[in-house]
Amino acid sequence: MENKFCLNGKVALVTGASYGIGLAIASALAKAGAKITFNDINPELVEKGVAAYREAGIEAKGYVCDVTNEEQVNGMVAAIEQEVGVIDILVNNAGIIKRIPMIEMTAAEFRQVIDVDLNAPFIVAKAVIPSMIKKGGGKIINICSMMSELGRETVSAYAAAKGGLKMLTRNIASEYGEYNIQCNGIGPGYIATPQTAPLREPGHPFNSFIIAKTPAARWGTTEDLEGPAVFLASAASDFVNGHVLYVDGGILAYIGKQP
C-alpha cells in the first residue's frame, strides 16, 4: 500500500510555490519522494522559496516565469525537462484574488484575475501534456476553491475563474484520460496562513463566521492539504479523474446552525 503513495523519481512542477499553500503542497510531494520544481513571477520570491525549501531539507529548483505568458511557460517547461526531467506531476497553484464589489470592478481587473486563475492553468497544462502523453501518463492537480461551487460578495472574478477551473479540470480529464493522464482539483476551505492571520484574531467577526460555518469548528491548516495532494499525485488515484476534492472541514455539506 505504501508503494501506491510513493513518488520516488517523479518530477513535480508546482506553480506559485514560493510560500503558502503551494510551498506546503510541494513540500509534501517532496516528502513522498518527488523532485520539486516551482516558479514565481518575482525573482526575489523565487530566491525566498529556494531558501525555504533548503531550510526544510528539500532540494527544489526555482524558475522565474509569468504563468500567463505562453512563451515564458513553454521556455520554463523545456528547461525543466532538460535540467530535471519530464514533468510527471503538475500542480496549478498560482492564483490571485481581488475583493472588489462587481459594479466597482473594472473590466481590466476582472480580466487580470481570469488570466492568472484560469488562463494560466490552461497554458501550463497545455505545455506539459504532450510530454506526459509520450511518457505514458501524468497527474495534473488544479487548485480550485469553494468558490468553484459558491458565490460570495466582492469575489465575482475569482468565483468565475475558479468555477471555470473546475470545468477545465473535467475537460482535461475527458480529453486526455485515455493517455493515462488524471486531472483532478483540490478545493481548499479557509486555511490558516500568514495572509489570513488578521482575520483569525479572537473576536474578529469573520473568524467567528468561519468557525460557525465549519462542522470541524476550526480553520484548516496547510498540513490538511498535504495528504490529498499526495493522493492525487500518486498511483493511489489512478482511476480518479475529473474530480474536485474539497478540503474544507465540511463547509460545503453544511447549511449552518440555526440562529
Q: Secondary structure of 18-69 in the HEC alphabet?
A: CCHHHHHHHHHHHHCCCEEEEEECCHHHHHHHHHHHHHCCCCEEEEECCCCC
Residue spans of beta strands (DSSP E) within the chain: 11-15, 35-40, 60-64, 89-92, 138-143, 181-188, 244-247
pLDDT given at position 184: 99
Summarised one tens digit per residue, pLDDT across range 111-160 is 999 999 999 999 999 999 999 999 999 999 999 999 999 999 999 999 99
Task: Report, as ranges of residue numbers, the positions in the chain whose pLDDT lies below 70.
Answer: none
Cβ neighbours for 171, distance < 8 A, ≥ 6 positions apart = none
pLDDT given at position 2: 82
User: Which position among 63, 158, 176, 190 bears the catalytic label?
Assistant: 158
158 labelled catalytic: yes
Give SS3 for 232.
Answer: helix
Cβ neighbours for 71, distance < 8 A, ≥ 6 positions apart = none
112's grid cell: 487580470
Please check whether residue 122 is in contact with residue 70, taking contact to mean a CB–CB distance below 8 angstroms: no
Give SS3 for 86.
Answer: coil
pLDDT given at position 165: 98
Give SS3 for 13.
Answer: strand
214's grid cell: 465549519
pTM over 0.95: yes
Number of residues assigned to the chain: 259
pLDDT given at position 1: 85
pLDDT given at position 258: 77
- Which residue from 116, 190, 115, 114 is spatially nearest to 157, judged by alpha carbons? 114
